[in-house]
Structure 1
Amino acid sequence: MGPSVDVVPSSPTFPTSAEVVVIGGGIIGVATALSLVQQGIRTVLLEKGTVAAEQSSRNWGWCRRTGRDLRELPLINLSMQLWEGMNERVQRETGFRRCGILYAARNTEQHQRHQSWVREAQQYGIHSDLLSPEQVRQQLPQLQGEAFGGMLTPLDGRAEPQKAVPAMVQAAMELGLNLQQHCAVRTIERAAGQVSEVVTEHGAIRCQQVVVAGGAWSRILLQGLGITLPQLKVLSSVVRTHPVDFDPGPCVSFGSVAMRKRLDGGLTVASSAISTADITLDALKFSAQFMPAFWHERKAIRLRVGARLFEEALHWKPGQADKHSIYEAIRVLDPQVESDIIPQIRERVSKLLPALTPLPIAQSWGGLIDSMPDAIPVISAVESLPGLFVATGFSGHGFGIGPGAGQLMADLVLNRTPSVDAHPFRLSRFSDGEKIKAQFWL
């Protein structure tokens, strides 16, 4: 079972029309909807389960510039500006705190990559400090074992995933957003060559524009329109502890494990070196596109053949307007944590920070990350279908970058000058001959 998320009631009236329908109640869809209603756009947000029930509540809660792909840096700068004022903007507690983010190097080669990233990031106005091994120990005096240095971005921060998205959507509803939860979208319909309506399990909604922000579900939604999105799902696992006296100060990645302090006094702890990817028909279909990234991260990603191969092959089909869909059958993706992950997290924390032994785990959960071959998102109009837009594939970076991504998506929908250059995030990069490449700095 996933973490407990602040409950938001749906709007009382089901809408029959809107200017924009946003599909997906995670942070990207919610941030997009919030930006739209702040511009006076009549917007409906549809969620097949409940707001933030999937990866938007299951992530680490980091809001980071540190180590990002250089193509994302203008967008994360925008997003961090929005995070800084988010509590005031929504008049609620999102948990955002500026605390800094520290990546400790696992070896000298990685520390050299940190040095390169710090130099490159300066052109985007990002200041990160390179730390010697002694400075890492000054930051974390409890740390045991060998240190190779690190990099610290003091202006990075953290927020509470289980609180932030509900707070944002409530603020949007006060501005006129119509939120419908437990309302699966079956199909997106066309008329005269453009988007015309969205058919849900509760009825149709006429609209001029649709934003698909469905996270791990985006590929199958677009597949129903004949649009190919090369997206795969990667399982990541997280634990939270009971309240502890220990506070690392900044959010910290030690390479083998990462952690941050929570508002409730506990820690959010995750294995930053082990993720699981199921072999599915999509994985086989997109294997050539994902192979460079997989080869680079081969020590951190475990391939698994299991029930998901057959489940997706048999049941994960695009919806039909008049039939019960896979989106109604699976309201929330709630993957199980693999049995060896928790012992590994305990062992790694014990070696690095003996003061936390035994790690007082209160809960653990898994989440499915929507991943792209180049590990940067799609935030784009769909050229082949006027009125359709996509914001997905954030590859584990979506929570921190979410507010900026929502503002950029709203800019594209409203056909106004984008807040940042949207060219790197266009969907057509996978079909226009551009060489697709992920950047690895951490």
Structure 2
Amino acid sequence: MPGPALVPFSGDMDLPSRVDIAVVGGGVAGAFTALELAERGHRVLLIEKGMIGGEQSSRNWGWVRIGMRDLREAPMMLDAIRLWQGLDERIEARSGYVRSGIVFACETEKAVESHEAWLRDFRAAGYLAALGNGPGMEMIGKLQMEALFPGLAVHARAALHAPVDGRAEPQKVAPAVAEAARRKGAAVVTGCAVLGIDWQNGRVSGIETERGHVRCDAVVLAAGVWTSGMARLEGIDLPQLKVLNTVVRTTAPPAGEAAPDQALWTDRYAFRRREDGGYSIASAAENIFEIVPDSFRYAKPFSAILKQDWKSLRPRLSRFWRDEWLAWAGGADGFLSLLRKHRVLDPVPATGTVMRALAALRQDYPVFRSLRIEQEWAGMIEVVPDAVPVISHVEGRDGLVIATGFSGHGFGISPGAGRLAADLACGDDPCVDPRDFRLARFSDGSPITVMGGV
């Protein structure tokens, strides 16, 4: 089943023989990293086994939010918001970014307490003040929700309203950012898998690809759900699993019919308006947890997040079990064959989850009853044990930076994540403190504190 239609992008025909930094993975994190590095005057290669933005980077909800994020991500997200505001001018293309607001509904008293506590902590840390004099966020009641969403049957007791939050178009962003990086001098090669990293005296010296060898001084590994496997080829343990989320895209409401512009998150569904006037709709309560061999390999580090989120995870045994079992049974060659087999990972949607969400939305909100489903797709989210990204050097592997584990929060934060990854790769002062994002937290005895917020 084909995923959403991307803005067309053609990779370079020639593979450079020498660059300063190679960025492996053409999703939003990799594309923003490449743009940052190219703007700083570094020779950069952005290399992707399939299409730029072809996997989760184009299949996500398109939310750009700081509301209800884990506070460890807040400084980087503040930076990302500033970058989103000037992005269209920077990349000379439309990203679809709009500061339209997001409402996070609280349908139980426990949820009200949780959202209020998050807002208190957010304010106490100084992040609300850091947003400046523009739109901020506040708790609102049922009547205010009814005013924001006329016609909605509001079941919530209260909500966190974040006017500072917004949206952008996932199918446009990664290709546009990669094209901007190319204009700034980066080489962008697609349809070319990286087969391994070359080392000399414990330091990166190059990469091996399907088209040949590229010498480089540093590598940023930002390969989404493939990052853990690629790290394992280099003897690096990165605990990471896959979660599947399904989205439907609808038609636009009839002209003149009042329809919500702000996004809404409830226990049963989530929606946001698209640039084409239609909506992206998904379940906010159900995700599919793919059972694969790594599910057992990493059972212990993931026990905390499974315990916290067990109600929202539905286990599924699909072809990925067989594919990955055979791949790792075949060692490095088996994994690389799996990479080539899935040039663009296009998983089968979990139709039941999104149809339940859509049915609940149509029952609550009459404006959605006449909207037709235009398309359905699924994407694989790469998750780490605490659901907080890994943007990190690797101890004992000079020149290697890993940027992964965005756990469903990567699209909105990607401009900030790309900036931090670029800082680490080229030795500049980091834009935010990278300690919370270090890979070593999973192996140095640090307690695993599962993401707060949603």
TM-score (norm 1): 0.97
CA distance in 1, matches of 2:353, 2:382: 20
1:400 aligns with 2:412: yes
Residue 389 (structure 1) aligned with residue 401 (structure 2): yes
Q: Tell me if the contact between 2:282 and 2:354 (Cα under 8 Å) persists in the aligned partners.
A: no
1:132 to 2:141 alignment:
yes
SS at match of 2:417: helix
In the alignment, which of 367, 375, 391 is matched to residue 379 of structure 1? 391
Matched, 1:77 2:78: yes
Return 5+ residue gaps in structure 2 as ranges: 129-135
Taking the aligned partners of 2:75 and 2:375, their CA distance within structure 1 comes to 35
Paired residue for 2:353?
341
Alignment of 1:192-231 (within 5 A): 192-231=201-240
Q: Does 1:95 align with 2:65?
A: no
| Corresponding residue to 1:235 among 244, 251, 263 | 244
Identity, in percent, stands at 38
Name the counterpart of 1:295: 307
* CA distance in structure 2 between the aligned counterparts of 1:223 and 1:299, rounded to whole angstroms: 31
1:318 deviates by 6.0
Which region of structure 1 is more displaced relative to structure 2, 309-318 or 190-199? 309-318
Is residue 220–residue 318 contact of structure 1 (8 Å, CA) maintained in 2?
Answer: no
Contact in 2 for aligned 1:186/1:325 (Cα 8 Å): no
Number of the residue aligned with 1:142: 151
Shift of 1:139: 1.0
Counterpart Cα distance in 1 of 2:89 and 2:351: 41
Any idea what the Cα deviations from partners look like across 1:230-255, whole Å, max 9, x if unmatched? 00000000011012245322211122
Backbone CA RMSD of aligned residues: 1.5
2: CA distance, partners of 1:128 / 1:339: 34
User: Given that residues 281 and 358 in structure 2 are in contact (C-alpha distance below 8 angstroms), is that contact kept between their aligned partners in structure 1?
Assistant: no
Q: Report matched runs for 1:355-366 at 5 Å.
A: 355-366=367-378
Secondary structure (helix, strand or coil) at the match of 1:315 reads helix
| 3-state SS of paired residue (1:36) | helix
Letter in 1 for 2:405: G
Question: For residues 78 and 258 of structure 2, what CA distance do their matches in structure 1 show?
Answer: 30
Measure, in 1, the Cα distance between the counterparts of 2:305 and 2:379.
20
Whole-angstrom distance in 1 between the partners of 2:401 and 2:290: 28
1:11 aligns with 2:12: yes
Q: 2: distance between equivalents of 1:388 and 1:4?
A: 33
Q: How many residues align?
A: 441
Structure 1 counterpart of 2:99, one-letter code: R
Contact 2:76 2:413 in 1 (8 A): yes
Partner of 1:409: 421
Any conservation in 1 of the 2:282–2:358 contact (CA below 8 Å)?
A: no
Residues 367-405 of structure 1 deviation map (CA, whole Å, 9 limit, x = unaligned)? 000001101000001112111110000000000000000
List structure 1 runs of 4+ shifted beyond 3 angstroms.
Answer: 316-321
Per the alignment, in what secondary structure is the counterpart of residue 267 of structure 2?
Answer: coil
Q: TM-score, normalised by structure 2?
A: 0.94
Cα displacement string for residues 335-363 of structure 1 (whole angstroms, at most 9, x for unaligned residues): 01124234313311112212311441100
Please give the residue correspondences for 1:203-352 in structure 2 after superposition, counting only pairs within 5 Å: 203-244=212-253, 245-316=257-328, 319=332, 325-352=337-364
**Contact preservation (8 Å) 1:216, 1:370:** yes
Measure how far apart 1:65 and its partner are: 0.2
Q: Which residue of 1 aligns with 2:445?
A: 433
Once residues 333 and 198 of structure 2 are traced to their aligned partners in structure 1, the CA distance between those partners, rounded to angstroms, is: 10
Aligned residue identity for 1:282: D
Instruction: Give the distance between the partners of 1:356 and 1:328, measured in 2 at CA.
Output: 40
- Write the letter of the residue equivalent to 2:44: T
Q: Which residue of 2 aligns with 1:28?
A: 29
**Which amino acid is 1:234 matched to?**
V
Partner of 2:116: 115
Work out the CA distance in 1 between the residues paired with 2:247 and 2:336: 32
